[in-house]
Amino acid sequence: MLIVQKFGGTSVGDLDRIGNVASRVSATKKEGNDVIVVVSAMSGETNKLVGYAEHFSSHPAAAEMDMLLSAGERVTASLLAIALQEMGHDATAMTGRKAGIVTDVNHTKARIERIDPEVMQNAVKSGKIIVVAGFQGVNEAGDVTTLGRGGSDLSAVAIAGALKADLCEIYTDVSGIYTTDPRIEPKAKKLDKISYDEMLELASLGAKVLQNRSVEMAKKLNVNLVTRTSFSNEEGTLITKEENIMEAPLVSGIALDRNQARISLMGVKDRPGIASDIFNRLATAEVNVDMIIQNKAHDGATNIDFTVPVGDLFDAKEIVDSFVQDGEIKADSYNEEICKVSVVGVGMRSHAGVAAKAFSTMAENNININMISTSEIKISMVIDEKYAELAVRGLHDAYELEK
């Protein structure tokens, strides 16, 4: 078998843990498998590097950020390869560039355009264990790019897809996918299986256990994806096609995203094309707009509220302010003290009353809902951040997910 094993920050958090990872990889190889390893930076390392940059600038250039942030993964990839060599393996460390991971030009949130697999294929053929620095690629201009926070998951899935690996294992600090973040709700239950679509919703809605784009790619390329812990041999969670899951539960999980900010636009000129102008400008700047609410117009003006990830707030502010300067919007304001809680489940498609239960749970806990959005398989609510944990636990109880 060809197995891709990805180890997250906590799993390579210190030298002993890197040694443990080496033993696990070594055992997998000795069982007769080909192994490609993808590693994250040591836990806290990427944030530390971000902090260094922020010491000098509140909005450092994205190209330099990529050069800086990609350093963390180089450290762990080289150390793990050295540890494996010391155990007698023919191991080789590769940067994203060497591994053939080619991305677009979007620094700090680059998309993988293709993987040139020859270098990795040849190394695997000659019996080498490859250790790839996750989270990074190279653009056509030869500059290093990074794939967005948590992007080592995407590196692993993309490599598994490109090399047609039999299995892609994501090793992390929890033993699989739970009904909600087990650090918020200790009663959360581990799932044996979850569908790509539900996992994609959970990940997109804040469950950082898997980066959302990695799930999207796993679905597209049909990658056999398993999430498990690097601290024991406990079995993990299989992320798979919906038809492989016998009975879809009504609700599979609750997600929390603290990383959201709300932008309020007051006195927006009520003319055809204004929303298109504002949101096209935001899209061109790669600002990820999520929920949008527009109120009824009064006296030729209206109010529009929308949410963006906190990381996109700076760019969004610049654009919105320019509309204020042009007189198209009277005033704008920002609120970072919000969060989004979401209920996810494919079983919702065929059941009524799932949303009503979410709203009454908020009511019982005296939590005011600021914004709501729904799709076939999810309900999301924006609430004040101080109620985040209360809301998650309340919803987990209400849908009886501990059972």
Min dist. Cβ of residue 352 to ligand ASP (A): 39
Q: Which does 198 bind (CB under 5 to 8 A by kind): ligand ADP, Mg ion, ligand ASP, none?
A: none
Q: Which does 307 bind (CB under 5 to 8 A by kind): ligand ADP, Mg ion, ligand ASP, none?
A: none
Looking at beta carbons only, is 178 or 323 nearer to ligand ADP? 178
Distance CA 112, CA 239 (A): 21
Is residue 72 close enough to count as binding ligand ASP by CB under 6 A? Answer: yes
Strand partners, 229: 172
β-strands 237-240, 225-229: how paired? Answer: antiparallel
Distance CA 105, CA 248 (A): 40
Min dist. Cβ of residue 29 to ligand ADP (A): 21
Q: Write the secondary structure of 52-120 as one string of H (helix), E (strand) and C (coil).
A: HHHHHCCCCCHHHHHHHHHHHHHHHHHHHHHHHHHCCCCEEEECCCCCCEEECCCCCCCCEEEECCHHH
Is residue 137 close enough to count as binding ligand ASP by CB under 6 A? Answer: no
Rg (CA), the chain: 22
Distance CA 118, CA 35 (A): 16
Is residue 112 close enough to count as binding ligand ASP by CB under 6 A? Answer: no
Looking at beta carbons only, is 47 or 121 nearer to ligand ASP? 47
Is residue 176 close enough to count as binding Mg ion by CB under 5 A? Answer: no
- Say which residue the tokens 């049909």 belong to: 222
Q: How far apart are the first and last CA of the chain?
A: 36
Distance CA 219, CA 79 (A): 32
Min dist. Cβ of residue 134 to ligand ASP (A): 6
Q: Which does 115 bind (CB under 5 to 8 A by kind): Mg ion, ligand ASP, ligand ADP, none?
A: none
Min dist. Cβ of residue 325 to ligand ADP (A): 39
Is residue 150 close enough to count as binding Mg ion by CB under 5 A? Answer: yes
Binding site for ligand ADP (CB under 6 A): 8-11, 40, 150, 172-174, 177-178, 180-183, 202, 207-209, 253
Is residue 9 close enough to count as binding ligand ASP by CB under 6 A? Answer: yes
Q: Which does 303 bind (CB under 5 to 8 A by kind): Mg ion, ligand ASP, ligand ADP, none?
A: none
Is residue 236 close enough to count as binding Mg ion by CB under 5 A? Answer: no
For 177-234, give the DSSP string. -BSS-TTT-TT--B-SEEEHHHHHHHHHTT-TTS-HHHHHHHHHHT--EEEEESSS--
Query: Which one-letter amino acid corresponds to residue 386?
Result: K
Looking at beta carbons only, is 92 or 155 nearer to ligand ASP? 155
Looking at beta carbons only, is 139 or 211 nearer to ligand ASP? 211
Q: Which does 180 bind (CB under 5 to 8 A by kind): ligand ASP, ligand ADP, Mg ion, none?
A: ligand ADP
| CB 179, CB 255: distance < 8 Å | no
H or E segment and range at residue 373: strand 371-375
Query: Which residue in the set 40, 175, 230, 237 belongs to the binding site for ligand ASP (CB under 6 A)?
Result: 40
Most distant pair of Cα atoms in the chain: their distance: 77
Min dist. Cβ of residue 227 to ligand ASP (A): 13
Binding site for ligand ASP (CB under 6 A): 8-9, 40-41, 46, 72, 134-135, 149-153
Binding site for Mg ion (CB under 5 A): 8, 150
